[in-house]
Structure 1
C-alpha cells in the first residue's frame, strides 16, 4: 500500500492529468482543444494514453461526446492540487530569479473595466515585465466562475443581498462594494430628493439589464419591499444606453454610483435608495493554480489598491 501512490505518479504525466481537469471544466473535447490550442484528436489521444496508464476508465461515451466516469472526476479533482503545486513551485523559482513576468489575461465586465482598468494600467507601469491582456466579459452573476477556466483573473459582480453562488475550486478577492442609486431625469419631481423609497419609485417605467444580473435582482427586492411589481419597459446590458435613455426622459434605472457619476455629471440625477441596501459586490475570481503565479498576484494586488479609491 505504501508503494502504490508512488507507482501511480510514476505512470502519470502531469500534462495529461491537466487535460483531464480541463475536460471536467469545459465539458467537451472540442472545448478543451480550443482552450489548450490543440486539435481534438490530439486531446483524445492524450486522454487515452492517460487512461491506459492509470488502468481504469476515465471517460465514457455520452451521446456524441464524452463524460467523465467517477474515477475520471476523482482524478480531475486531484489535478487541481497538482496544478496548484506546480504553480507554487514556478512562483518560488521566479522569486529566486527575482522576476514576476509574463502575460496575465484579465476578463472584466464593462462598467468595472471603465472604473478600474485605466488606474490598473497606471499602477502596472511599475511592473513592465508583466503584459496585461484585457477581455470584455459580461455574463449573469452565476456564470462568472466558469470563465476562470479561460482567463487568469475574472472580475465579477453579484448583488450584495444574496448568498454568493457556489464556486468550488475558485479563489476570491474582494475588490469593492458599489452602491446602486436610482437614476432619474433632471426634471423628475424626485430628482432633488436626498433619498427615495421603493414606494416612491415603484410606479415608474424602468430600464433594466436582463434577469439574473445583479441590478435586476435589486429591482426584485424593490418590488418585494413596495408590494407591487416593477414595470420594465426596456432591457439592455449597455449602461451608457441606460444613462442616455434616462437623461432623455424614457424611464428610470438603477445604476452603479461610481461608474455612472464619472460619466453623467449634469445629465441625470443619482438618488440613493432609502430602507433598502442596494449595491453590488465586485470581486476577482481565479483558479488556485493561476492565483499562485507571481504576475497574477501582482495584478490582483494592483486591482485591490485601485478599488480602494471607491468607498462602498
Structure 2
C-alpha cells in the first residue's frame, strides 16, 4: 500500500473532513477523494463512508489510520538514526506557543538554536483554551501548551507529551493596595476585589474559580485578556488585581506592582510540549526539544 495514501486516513481522522485535509496538504478535495478511492480498491474494503454532506472513517479506516501513525513514526526514527550517524540535523521545525510562554522561553531558545544552523525555526503565537492545544499538533511539529495543575485535557492519548516546567501563579496587587505589604495573601483576602482575568477555562481562570469556591464568593471579573502586559498595566494603574505567572511577570513588577504568593491553595500552571509521535521522532524536532528543556530548566532553577 502507498504510505502517502495511508497517511490521508490519519489526516481525515484528525481533521474530520476531506476539505480540511486538502487545505492542510495543499491538494484539491477531488485529488484527496481520488486517492482515498484508490486505497479502498487496493484494500478491497470500505474505508470511508458518507454521513450527511460529509464523510467519516469506518472501523477498517480507523484501524489503518492508527497503523499509519506507527508507519510514519518508524520512518521518522530511521531518518533520525541516519541523520545522527551523519553527525547533523537539518530541516524546518514549526512551533506553536502561547504568548507568555513565548516571552519566557523563545529568546533563550533562539539563542541556543544558533548551535544548530541547519535547523530553521518557524514560531507562531497560539493562545487557546487548554482543551484545544492538542488539535494544533496537526499543523505544528511542536506545540507548547499550558494546563491547570490537576486537570488533564482530552485528546492527548495518541500524542507525545513532555513536561517543561510548573510555573507558580501569584496575586498581582497595585503598589498602594492595603495588602501589598503582606508577604502572602489568602483567597479570602482578595476574592472580593475587581479582577483582571483571562478567558474562561484558561488555566489562570480555573485557579480563580478554585479561589472563589474556597472563599465561597464569586469573583468579579471586570476585564478579560490573554495579553499579560495589558493585565500588568491595569493592575499597576489600580483598576483591579490579577493572577500572574511568577517567572514571566516578576522582572516587570519592580516599581509598578507587587506579586504575592497565595496561601491555602496550590496555584500554578503546567507548561508542556505536545507532539505527534512521528514528528517527535524527527532528529531536528528532538534537538529543538532538548534546547527547550534546557531553557525551561533555568526557570525551574529559580523556583
Q: Same fold (TM over 0.5)?
A: yes
Q: Are the aligned partners of 2:170 and 2:243 in contact in 1 as well (CA < 8 Å)?
A: yes
Aligned partner of 1:273 among 262, 272, 282: 262
| 1:75 corresponding residue in structure 2 | 64
Q: Are the aligned partners of 2:130 and 2:153 in contact in 1 as well (CA < 8 Å)?
A: no
| 1:160 corresponding residue in structure 2 | 149
Superposed displacement of residue 263, structure 1 = 2.8
| 1:118 corresponding residue in structure 2 | 107
- Would you say 1:61 and 2:38 are equivalent positions? no
Superposed displacement of residue 126, structure 1 = 0.5
| 1:148 corresponding residue in structure 2 | 137
Q: Are the aligned partners of 1:102 and 1:295 in contact in 2 as well (CA < 8 Å)?
A: yes
Where 2:299 maps in the other structure, the secondary structure is coil
Distance 1:40 1:97 in 2: 39
Superposed displacement of residue 124, structure 1 = 0.6
- Would you say 1:184 and 2:179 are equivalent positions? no
| 1:23 corresponding residue in structure 2 | 12
Superposed displacement of residue 237, structure 1 = 1.5
Structure 1 window deviating more from structure 2 (195-204 vs 94-103): it is: 94-103
| 1:4 corresponding residue in structure 2 | none
Structure 1 window deviating more from structure 2 (66-75 vs 129-138): it is: 66-75
| 1:230 corresponding residue in structure 2 | 219
| 2:188 corresponding residue in structure 1 | 199
> Which 5+ residue runs of structure 1 have no aligned equivalent?
1-11
Distance 1:209 1:66 in 2: 37
| 1:295 corresponding residue in structure 2 | 284
Superposed displacement of residue 169, structure 1 = 1.0
- Would you say 1:46 and 2:35 are equivalent positions? yes
Q: TM-score, normalised by structure 1?
A: 0.94
Q: TM-score, normalised by structure 2?
A: 0.97
Cα deviation per residue 1:233-253 (whole Å; 9 max; x = unaligned)?
111111111111111111111
Superposed displacement of residue 165, structure 1 = 3.6
| 1:245 corresponding residue in structure 2 | 234
Q: Are the aligned partners of 1:207 and 1:235 in contact in 2 as well (CA < 8 Å)?
A: yes
Structural RMSD (CA): 1.1
Where 1:125 maps in the other structure, the secondary structure is helix
| 1:254 corresponding residue in structure 2 | 243
| 2:202 corresponding residue in structure 1 | 213
Distance 2:3 2:117 in 1: 31
Structure 1 window deviating more from structure 2 (256-265 vs 42-51): it is: 256-265
Q: Are the aligned partners of 1:208 and 1:254 in contact in 2 as well (CA < 8 Å)?
A: yes
Superposed displacement of residue 164, structure 1 = 4.8
Q: Are the aligned partners of 1:161 and 1:277 in contact in 2 as well (CA < 8 Å)?
A: no
- Would you say 1:132 and 2:121 are equivalent positions? yes
Cα deviation per residue 1:263-290 (whole Å; 9 max; x = unaligned)?
3322111111011110000001111000
| 1:284 corresponding residue in structure 2 | 273
